[in-house]
Amino acid sequence: MKKIEAIVRPEMLEPLKNAFLEQEVGGLTISQVMGCGNQKGYTDEIRGQMVIINMLPKIMFTLVVKDEDLKKITSIIIEKAQTGEVGDGKIFISDIVDCIRIRTEEHGEDAL
Ligand SMILES: Nc1ncnc2c1ncn2[C@@H]1O[C@H](COP(=O)(O)OP(=O)(O)OP(=O)(O)O)[C@@H](O)[C@H]1O
Ligand SMILES: [Mg+2]
């Protein structure tokens, strides 16, 4: 099993959510997050003061999927969230050791 954490622009929430729900994903978690990437923010003028805005609001999707579904899901994220401009976001992928459905105590892929 793999965990996919995709940090994307807030406006990608609806298109990505709908694309995932069309697939047979076991579940998904959406979080409102703040962050910065390489650019470390930008400078803006607010009420006459120059301020550095370095944490931008982003949306994070977390999905745990079967290994065989990893490519399909990352391709959907790239297809929907890529504008080609800086700040499109990132996808982090990690191994998941186990998953337990609390209701039934099933383990592993059966519990996804
Ligand atoms: N190395 C990282 N660790 C944790 N979170 C990160 C990391 N890089 C990016 N993020 C998260 O992803 C969001 C989007 O990052 P962003 O797309 O700006 O990355 P980037 O590397 O600067 O690429 P780009 O050049 O396209 O802007 C950030 O706001 C932050 O929340
Ligand atoms: Mg950036």
Domain of residue 80 covers 2-39+51-111
Residue 45 forms part of a structural domain: no
Residue 46 forms part of a structural domain: no
Domain count, the chain: 1
Q: Is the pTM of this model over 0.75?
A: yes
Mutate to test the pocket of ligand 1, among 39, 90, 92, 93 (most ligand atoms within 8 A of CB): 90
Predicted confidence at residue 10, as pLDDT, reads 97
Residue 97's φ and ψ, nearest 5 degrees, are -75, -40
8 Å CB contact between 4 and 81: no
Strand partners, 91: 6
Print pLDDT tens along the chain (112 aa): 999 999 999 999 999 999 999 988 889 999 999 999 887 777 788 888 887 778 899 999 999 999 999 999 999 999 999 999 999 999 999 999 999 999 999 999 999 9
Predicted confidence at residue 51, as pLDDT, reads 79
Domain with 106 in it: what CATH number? 3.30.70.120
Closest ligand 1 atom to Cα of 88: 17
